[in-house]
Amino acid sequence: MTDADFNRVRQLIYQRAGIVLAEHKREMVYSRLARRLRLHRLTRFTDYLARLERQPEAREWEAFTNALTTNLTAFFREAHHFPLLASHVQSRGGPVRVWCAAASTGEEPYSIAMTLSETLGAHAREARVLATDIDTDALTRAREAVYPLEQVLKLPDERRKRFFLRGGGTRAGLARIRPELMSMVEFRPLNLLAPSWPIEGPFDAIFCRNVMIYFDKETQARILDRFVPLLKPDGLLFAGHSENFSYISQAFRLRGQTVYELADSASSRAASRR
């Protein structure tokens, strides 16, 4: 892979998915895309990239994007967010709706669904979690809802028994999300850079955690502005631990640790206290 090849990869993935690849990601890019070259019996990255550019609608673009997408996730990752979500939805009227905008392999949206189930009781059957991601391979795994048992064993006993089925026989060492929890989550492919999102709000909360770090500030601001009409006036936006939206968009105001609310909502609440 030449310098020109690597720079072209960086341009293409930015154009397609808004992902900014740093210079130190070169080895990762090489190892992940080399598998695609071997599959197509190609020996030069130049030829592979030229094939992509000649066929802008080819399915290989999906594989290219999937290969360069990072899926680091876990159940109840950044755990302080989930009690905040529980408190937020506890006394709300009407069905609760949450959008998880970077669903990966499903651990985050299922953690959201578990929180809603524990908090809303019988009303949880009306709650819905929309889970989207650009990586279609990750979404396939998320829909299967099967995870290594060692990953599930990190959860409290009560949660494991309530929300998981332990595999036996050929499924030993695996656990599956129970059907009633799976039914609360809808998975859809979505590119946050797409000119339109086939999504209808409003949502009580949006989780967009640890994905904005891959975008430049201009792209981040554009996405944040598109979140605004999809949130309820008092809705919450959850960000990742290393993300700070305060200096990117004036539409949102920090409410707690990496949790944001619409600035208009915060102003209205402050005025009502005066």
- Residue numbers annotated as active site: 32, 133
Record the tokens describing residue 242, joined without a space.
Answer: 């290393």
Helix (H) or strand (E) holding 205: strand 203-207
Phi-psi category of residue 201: left, alpha or beta, with phi > 0 → left and psi -120 to 50 → alpha: beta
Which residue shows structure tokens 């650009």? 134
Radius of gyration of the chain (CA): 20
Q: Which of 221, 158, 234, 165 is nearest to 193 (CA)?
A: 221
Helix/strand/coil for 236: strand
* DSSP state letters, 16-39: HH-----GGGHHHHHHHHHHHHHH
CB atoms near residue 79 (< 10 Å): 10
**3-class SS shares of the chain: helix, strand, coil, % to 5:** 50, 15, 35
**212 and 244 in contact (C-beta within 8 Å)?**
no
* DSSP state letters, 128-171: EEEEEES-HHHHHHHHHTEEEHHHHTTS-HHHHHHHEEE--GGG
Using the 8-state DSSP alphabet, how is residue 227 labeled? H
Contacts of residue 27, defined as CB under 8 A and 6 or more positions apart, other chains included, come to none
